[in-house]
Structure 1
Amino acid sequence: MRQKRFKLHWLDYVIAAVVIAFAAVIWFRISGALNYKWQWDRIPNYILRWDADDGRWYANLLLQGLINTIRIALYSSVLALVLGTVLGIARTANNLAIRMLARTYLEVLRNIPPVVVVFIFFFFLSEQLISALNMESWARGIARQDDIAVWEFFFGDMRRFPSLISGVIVLALFESAFVGEIVRAGIQSVGRGQREAARSIGMTWVDEMRFIVLPQALRRVLPPMSNQFISLVKDSSIISLISVQELTYKTVELVASTRMIFEAWITTACLYFILCFGLSLLFRRLETSAPKH
């Protein structure tokens, strides 16, 4: 098949010109009216820092925050997928009590502002769980060891491990509500005739879900699940409010110490865009290469 050639319409040029003009007005407004002195030359040093003593490059504030954001997004997505799948199955269960409990959880989380949910989960669940498991003492013990390269690769600074886990738990519990609805829709999209046929040959409910329903449902929900993962990456900025040191939190630190307000936040926006746009291209590639049947 021939690849379609994209031709620019006159309206595309108009929109591009408007965007450029808007950016130029903002730029001159900041430089002139606010008498703001741009310091873009300092930004690269806050991404990668050269250590003359060791003779090597180190990740500085912004790159540290970006790496932590990626860690939190990966771990939260796995936990949210597990919890969301359980919730989605519970939403389609035969037992009325299980269905109502799952629906209550989903409806409450989907209709409360994310900031409120983050604080509720952090103070009433995440902090209590970390204290009960004595994670802070365990993490400090790991941090005192000499060979902790593997631990730092997966979790970063082990002294901040409880904060990282708090963020992962809070974000996963919030996002699991949306994943649960996606899984529920996927399960209900499987034809009733297939489920009846499974029961007619003596399959139990567990076998029916395991061998018939879930394989088809999870394949069908891949596109919305991909979009939800990208939303999770963006939503991870919310947990900076509970002092989880991801990209947004590190940017606030950078602004507070350098007063480079616009440079820091524009760079952070670009980093989020690169990460999310790269993920969208990856998921689009996976969707097109996946078998249709």
Structure 2
Amino acid sequence: MLNKKAFKFTIIDMAVIIFIIVAISLFFFRMNKVLDYKWQWQTIPSYFFFWDAGTGQLKANILIKGFFITIKLSIWSTLIGFFLGTLSGVMGAKGSFEQRFVSRTYVETIRNIPSLVLVIIFYYFVSSQFLDALYLDRWLRNSSIAIQKITGFFFAGPDQINSFISAIIALGIYEGAYVSEIVRGGIISIPEGQWEASFAIGLSRKKTFLLVILPQTFRKVAFPLAGQFISTIKDSAIVSVISIQELTFQGMELMAATFLTFEIWITITFLYFILTFSFSRFVSFLEKKYALKQ
């Protein structure tokens, strides 16, 4: 039985691989023969790194810079989304009537607004009213070179800091609505017997939740949360509309300057695939390792 299942799975895999190869071959055939498109892949590596003759060093170019900005956007947005989602999920599962109402309002409102619209609204109406009033960009320009480098490494430079913060907050709020439902579902799935057993050994309701329920919840929802992080990586592309110089924005800039439409977007797609696939394989490895310990 196991051998038959393994054989069937292998056949399906081979069929998918053959289909992908045929589809890619047909695409390149049409580009070469029908549209007479002249591929210029030899120019793409120079947009990753370039040799600076003045300093004699190899420096990152536009695609690598955009790649790392996408990573920073994804990490910060995930942290904000995790915090907001956990808070909202706890309120929605075990809060008072008012807390449940606030949680449901947040979740239903954000989930029914397109992420692109949310980013634009937050940037033009919230960022322009609050972030600009803090004069963070002006303070950063007047700071030392060391502070500017540290801020640029973790966030962005003076010219982009307001837009960057606006983007990660908007993305964090958006992703937090989905994290909220994941956490709420995990809390609800914990059997009531866990609460009763904790009360029986003298734990208070607060300690029961923090020491017993919440750790079990995160173990249950760890992998759905990881999937949400992968979604955040892909959603980060929408902040290109507010001129954040992440991967998609850099791709559009390169396409406008070079007219290498297909080479640029195939490369961008591959870079996003590297991020999402690598993380999904890492999560899959942890999932299998965790399953073996059960």
| CA–CA separation in structure 2 for the residues paired with 1:220 and 1:8 | 28
Q: Per the alignment, in what secondary structure is the counterpart of residue 51 of structure 2?
A: strand
Runs of 4+ that moved beyond 6 A: 4-8
Asked whether the equivalents of residues 122 and 166 of structure 2 are also in contact (C-alpha less than 8 Å), the reply is no
Where does residue 90 of structure 1 map in the other structure? 91
Asked whether the equivalents of residues 121 and 170 of structure 1 are also in contact (C-alpha less than 8 Å), the reply is yes
Where does residue 232 of structure 2 map in the other structure? 232
CA shift, 1:81, in A, is 0.7
Q: Per the alignment, in what secondary structure is the counterpart of residue 49 of structure 1?
A: strand
Where does residue 282 of structure 1 map in the other structure? 282
Where does residue 25 of structure 2 map in the other structure? 24
Q: Per the alignment, in what secondary structure is the counterpart of residue 170 of structure 1?
A: helix
CA shift, 1:83, in A, is 0.8
Where does residue 259 of structure 1 map in the other structure? 259
Q: Per the alignment, in what secondary structure is the counterpart of residue 179 of structure 1?
A: helix
Report the CA distance shift for 1:70/1:195 in structure 2 as closer, same or farther (over 3 A): same
Amino acid at match of 1:25: L
CA shift, 1:131, in A, is 1.9
Identity in percent: 40
Q: TM-score, normalised by structure 1?
A: 0.90
Q: Which structure features the higher share of helix residues?
A: 2
Asked if residue 38 in structure 1 is aligned to residue 39 in structure 2, the reply is yes
Where does residue 105 of structure 2 map in the other structure? 104
Report the CA distance shift for 1:47/1:6 in structure 2 as closer, same or farther (over 3 A): farther
Runs of at least 5 residues in structure 1 that lack an aligned partner in the other structure: none
C-alpha RMSD over aligned residues: 2.4
- Alignment: residue pair count: 289
Where does residue 60 of structure 2 map in the other structure? 59
Q: Per the alignment, in what secondary structure is the counterpart of residue 55 of structure 2?
A: coil
Comparing 277-286 with 251-260, greater Cα deviation is found at: 277-286
| CA–CA separation in structure 2 for the residues paired with 1:13 and 1:199 | 55
Note the alpha carbon deviations across 1:226-258, whole angstroms, 9 max, x for none. Answer: 100011001100111121111001101110111
Where does residue 167 of structure 1 map in the other structure? 167
Where does residue 135 of structure 2 map in the other structure? 134
| CA–CA separation in structure 2 for the residues paired with 1:105 and 1:111 | 10
Q: Per the alignment, in what secondary structure is the counterpart of residue 92 of structure 1?
A: helix
Note the alpha carbon deviations across 1:42-95, whole angstroms, 9 max, x for none. Answer: 000001111122111111111110000001111111111111110001101341
CA shift, 1:13, in A, is 4.5
| CA–CA separation in structure 2 for the residues paired with 1:200 and 1:286 | 34
| CA–CA separation in structure 1 for the residues paired with 2:56 and 2:286 | 40
